[in-house]
Structure 1
Amino acid sequence: MLTVDFRRLPVGPGLRVLDLGCGGGRHAFEVLRRGADVVAFDQDADELKSVAAMFAAMETAGEAPPEATADTVTGDALAMPFPDASFDRVIAAEVLEHIPDDMAAMREIHRVLKPGGVAAVTVPSFLPERVCWALSEAYHTAPGGHVRVYTLAELKAKLKATGLRVGPHHHAHGLHTPYWWLKCAVGVDDDDHPLVKAYHRLLVWDIMKRPALTRIAESALNPLIGKSVVVYVRKPA
């Protein structure tokens, strides 16, 4: 399930891409499939072991072009161990809402981007996130959880303040918002609730099959209740 639109963030052979706060690696895997050199960066060393194993499996299965490289690096988003202007592209998907000093992380994105490079930054959308916070305190107070709710204007203003040029934006995952509202209403840890299980099966089916009906429905829902908002920014040349 990709949040970033790779038509707006083109990647391919010859480009070096950083997946900042890569988590399970979903965007890093897609970058590798497209032939770019990718660095999956996260502070969770255990999760990066799984990402590295998937990189190896993709290479063995021939899912990655032979000229593309994939590495994992453990570290802190506030002080990344990369020289200035190291990457042509940066992806920061669902990361900034977890970081108290988000401006420091944004300055690091600016620093490691090459002049003319493009980044995709995604955070939870304001309305869906506010409803989740209102429904469940546990949703946002768990260790490592969300520390803020962004408005689109705030996110753009902060990115612009680092020197990045703000470009287009869009929303994603409109079908997922009701699932999270439901989880917050019944208890975020109650994965066995019948309604939660039923909606989860629907989402898995949609991800696997991608039928036209749900694609149309999500396209209509995204501008209204898309779970994530994605902003594309460029470092001036």
Structure 2
Amino acid sequence: MLTVDFDTLGVRAGQRVLDLGCGAGRHAFELYRRGLDVVAFDHNESDLADVAAMFGAMEQAGEVPATGAATTVQGDALDLPFPDESFDHVIASEILEHIPEDDKAMHELVRVLKPGGRVSVTVPSRFPERICWALSEEYHRVEGGHVRIYERRQLFGRLRSAGLRPVHHHYAHALHSPYWWLKCAVGVERDHPLTRLYHRMLVWDMLRAPWLTRSLEHVLNPVLGKSIVTYLYKPGVTIA
């Protein structure tokens, strides 16, 4: 399940992309499959080991164009181990809401981005997230949990202060919001029949992409979208 629209971001084969806070690697895998030079970066060594294994399996299966390259790097988002202006694009999907010093992370991702390069930042959108917080303390008051709820103007303001300029935004994954409301209502860690049933529906939707649910989510995204997806650029010479 991808949150970032790569066509809107403007990625092209051969470009170097940082997937900041890559997690299980969903965006990194698709970028690699499209022939980009991907750096999957995360603090979690176990997640990175799994991502590296998948990179290797994709290469062996012949799923990667000749222009593709992929590596994993472990580290801290507040002190990225890369020189200035190292990447054509940066993706930071569902990571900033976990970082107390998010302004430092924003400045770091801007530092390693080339002038003219584009960034996609995604965070939980305000309305669905507020419902989750209201229903469950467990949802956000855990180690590594969400430390803030972003309002769109606040998010853009902070990213502007870090040196980026907004281009576009949209909302995604409206059908996932009720799932998390259910989990918060019955207990985030509880195995409940309702959440199991809804989860099966989400998996079916992701695998089959039927017209009905895809159309329904498209209509609901502006109101119930679980994530706000932003696209920004770093002023400077446009990347060729």
Specify the TM-score bucket, using the shorter chain as the normaliser: over 0.9
Asked if structure 2 preserves the Cα contact closer than 8 Å seen for 1:164 and 1:236, the reply is yes
Q: Secondary structure at the match of 2:5?
A: coil
Listed as ranges, the matches of 1:151-162 within 5 Å are 151-162=151-162
Residue by residue, what CA displacement relative to the aligned partner does 1:149-188 show, whole Å, maximum 9, x if unpaired?
0000110000001111111100000000000000000000
Residue by residue, what CA displacement relative to the aligned partner does 1:22-70 show, whole Å, maximum 9, x if unpaired?
0000000010011110000000011100000000000011111133110
Query: What is the TM-score normalised by the length of structure 2?
Result: 0.97
Q: Secondary structure at the match of 1:121?
A: strand
Give the drift of 1:12: 2.4
- Which whole-Å CA distance do the structure 2 matches of 1:73 and 1:217 have between them? 38
**AA of the residue aligned to 1:153:** R
- Which whole-Å CA distance do the structure 1 matches of 2:125 and 2:67 have between them? 37
Q: Which residue of 1 aligns with 2:26?
A: 26
Q: Which residue of 2 aligns with 1:54?
A: 54
Q: Secondary structure at the match of 1:138?
A: coil
Q: Which residue of 1 aligns with 2:170?
A: 170
- Which whole-Å CA distance do the structure 1 matches of 2:28 and 2:78 have between them? 20
Give the drift of 1:14: 2.1
**AA of the residue aligned to 2:83:** P
1:216 aligns with 2:219: no
Q: Secondary structure at the match of 1:7?
A: helix
**AA of the residue aligned to 2:68:** A
Between the aligned residues of both structures, percent identity stands at 63
- Which whole-Å CA distance do the structure 2 matches of 1:187 and 1:39 have between them? 36
- Which whole-Å CA distance do the structure 2 matches of 1:27 and 1:68 have between them? 14
Listed as ranges, the matches of 1:1-237 within 5 Å are 1-190=1-190, 192-237=191-236
- Which whole-Å CA distance do the structure 2 matches of 1:234 and 1:183 have between them? 36
- Which whole-Å CA distance do the structure 2 matches of 1:78 and 1:224 have between them? 32
Asked if structure 2 preserves the Cα contact closer than 8 Å seen for 1:32 and 1:38, the reply is yes
- Which whole-Å CA distance do the structure 1 matches of 2:134 and 2:218 have between them? 26
Asked if structure 2 preserves the Cα contact closer than 8 Å seen for 1:125 and 1:227, the reply is yes
Give the drift of 1:18: 0.2
- Report the more deviating stretch, 170-179 or 60-69: 60-69
Query: What is the TM-score normalised by the length of structure 1?
Result: 0.99
Aligned residue pairs, count: 236
**AA of the residue aligned to 2:217:** E
**AA of the residue aligned to 1:142:** V
Q: Secondary structure at the match of 1:8?
A: helix
**AA of the residue aligned to 2:112:** V
Q: Secondary structure at the match of 2:9?
A: coil
Off by >6 Å, runs of 4+ in structure 1: none
Asked if structure 1 preserves the Cα contact closer than 8 Å seen for 2:22 and 2:40, the reply is yes
- Which whole-Å CA distance do the structure 1 matches of 2:9 and 2:220 have between them? 23
Asked if structure 1 preserves the Cα contact closer than 8 Å seen for 2:16 and 2:87, the reply is yes
Asked if structure 2 preserves the Cα contact closer than 8 Å seen for 1:12 and 1:31, the reply is no
